[in-house]
Structure 1
């Protein structure tokens, strides 16, 4: 996800992007936590960055599944992006969010929904798309 917005809207959009990622994983019964990157660890241009990590029962630790970043007006400056606003031209803020890295999402989904008998519990939110099934049973 990419957002180009007014500077004063940047914090609101950052929170919304981060919440989208966290809500998605939680809706799939995947425990997540958020780590705020310290300024010394931020890549060039980033003003703020949060990593979303999912719990891995197999590894018994959290691993990164997504990242949300606010680049302030740095990217607009570098790319010479200007917006004609009501009060003249301004540099917009840019933000991005990976939301989902598909292989990592699949790992987190399977590990957190795998049951002792080898079946996979289908989270409530996905059941309407799975014909009402509650569990996927492996075929032997």
Structure 2
């Protein structure tokens, strides 16, 4: 059995058009991006699955992301607010799993290994199922890295 995989990119209408071939599927994706807006429509062939991604930056610390799948009517939205370099709040909803969530991150997200030799990120997340909102879930995660 022969398996092919490939990606082709091209500048097109002030954005980037990407064609990706894998097995018997072709995914076409266009990405337009400026300082405040990112628009990402995509289509998969032969299934004709169409989706649209949208990101809007309201300032240096606020961003809203939205994705809609026209085939399944699933969508998700995420709002992100950054305070300083070390504190981030995110909130969102995912219709596929019917869960609303909010999380708080403490610790620098960016940074090279040489500038962050003992990087730590903490996350506290609250997940609230839409079908059973009286049964929320709290998650706690720690990411720690030591560069010697």
| TM-score, normalised with respect to structure 2 | 0.27
Q: Which structure has more helix as a fraction of its residues?
A: 1
Comparing both chains, which one has the higher relative contact order based on Cα–Cα distances under 8 Å and sequence gaps of 6 or more?
1
Q: Which structure has more strand as a fraction of its residues?
A: 2
| TM-score, normalised with respect to structure 1 | 0.28
